[in-house]
Amino acid sequence: MNLLFTAGRELSYPRNAMLYELLQEQFQVKFIGRRSGRRNLLLQSAWNAFKCTPYLRSKEVLLSVVGFYGHLIMLWAGRAARQPILFDAFISTYDTLCFDRKVISPNSPAGRLAKWLDEQACRLADRVLVDTQAQADFFHDTLGVPREKLDVLYVGCDEKIFYPRSTTFDENLVLFYGEFLPLHNIEVILQAAQLVMSDGIHFQIIGPFGKHIKQKQLNQAHLTNVEFIPPVPLEQLPSYISRAAICLGGHFGASEKAGRVIAGKTFQCIAMGKPTIVGDNPANRELLVPGKDAWFCKMNDAQALSEAIKSLWQDKPLQSYLGKNAREAFLQKASKPILRRKLKAILQKISI
């Protein structure tokens, strides 16, 4: 064993799963944490930090990797470790809680604590991973992380699950899956669905939306073209993706964070070669070329989203063109061989 990997979230969380798999290809890795199932982040982080202590102090461990969510673990690991630490910050706690979800004020004691946590976790790491260049700019400009300390590694996806299928698809079906988060902006998607309802376009929306949006509300809005499906296991998602004519990658939220990150579902859909609609933001433009690899639309704008859906729905050759190029863009920029090379280059910066 020459690497330690730990994370506050479970190992099955896609970001952690990908990073762990890439590390395992090159090293013997000791994992400490939960492999599946969520637990209170504070308790899980404290337990992981305690369990990691002997390895953090071991001369046999060449590198410690703290995955997502690792901010709390870093407060101890960053001080206890005798070896370099690669910290996958992935998101900013301060940005998520204060500006995206808006559950605390940035000027409140809790808001200042969230910012301090981000700053300290990054300061204690030897290198800091984020998922887009736009996110790296935020970490530098807002949190003061030196640019030379930041590295970008795309989220990617599990290519054993997400690959092109030859399944016959429903030419009138639009698919979205996600959670009831401001980042995803399900309200805009439902408004867009209403705007295209008379065209015969129908939607499948997968996620825990039933407890937030009742069938009665859909009936009152006359949304007869929307089907809500409870969350499904990750390995079942490709069957839904393959049956859809158009996939919504997002993000469609109004926050600045929504413009700095690429949705995991975007990687999954383009890996399967599906025509995908994404929000027009700097992060998506890092990965995809508008009108070539994906269809871009203004974020937080139901009218723009409905027009994007209708434009693609009416143009079958364009769907094929985008799907083919989407797959190629994924292979060239976010596939596992590409991520493997990028991670190797990052590790070389810390002499691993």
The residues spanned by each domain of the chain are 3-156+336-349, 170-333
- Please, what's the largest Cα pairwise distance for the chain? 67
The answer to whether the 3-156+336-349 and 170-333 domains have the same CATH topology is yes
Contact 226, 202 (CB under 8 A): yes
- Position 221 scores a pLDDT of 65
CA distance 47 to 13: 18
Whole-number pLDDT of residue 166: 86
Degrees (nearest 5) of the Cα angle 223, 235, 40?
85
Confidence at residue 211, expressed as pLDDT on a 0 to 100 scale? 63
Residues in the chain: 352
What pLDDT, on the 0 to 100 scale, is given for residue 67? Answer: 98
d(CA 13, CA 180): 18
What pLDDT does 121 receive? 98
**Which burial class, exposed, middle or buried, applies to 107 when counting CB atoms under 10 A from its CB (0-12, 13-18, 19+)?**
exposed
Task: Please name every residue paired with 86 in a beta bridge, in sequence order, or none if there are none.
Answer: 65, 127
Return the bridge partners of 57, or none: none
User: What average pLDDT does this structure show over 225-251?
Assistant: 95
What's the topology of domain 170-333?
A: Rossmann fold (3.40.50)
Mean of pLDDT values over 63-81: 97
CA atoms within 13 A on the CB side of 25: 12
pLDDT in tens, 5-24: 999 999 999 999 999 999 99
How does pLDDT run across 263-316, given as a tens digit for each residue? 999 999 999 999 999 999 999 999 999 999 999 999 999 999 999 999 999 999
Q: What is the pTM of this model?
A: 0.93
Mean pLDDT, residues 113-134? 98
152-197 residue pLDDT tens: 999 999 999 999 998 889 999 999 999 878 888 899 999 999 999 9
- What does the block give as tokens for 64? 């410690």
Residues 118/72, Cβ–Cβ less than 8 Å: no
Task: Tabulate helix, strand, coil % of the chain (nearest 5).
Answer: 45, 15, 35
In this predicted structure, the answer to whether residue 240 has a pLDDT above a threshold of 70 is: yes
Which residues share a beta bridge with 205?
A: 176, 228
The CATH number of the structural domain formed by 3-156+336-349 is 3.40.50.2000
Which residue in this structure is represented by tokens 């808006």?
102
Half-sphere exposure of 204 (CA within 13 A, CB side): 20
- The arithmetic mean of pLDDT across residues 31-43, rounded, is 92
* Whole-number CA gyration radius for the chain: 21
Q: Is there a contact between 26 and 3 (Cβ–Cβ < 8 Å)?
A: no
pLDDT for the residue numbered 167: 82
Q: What are phi and psi of 244, to 5 degrees?
A: -85, 150
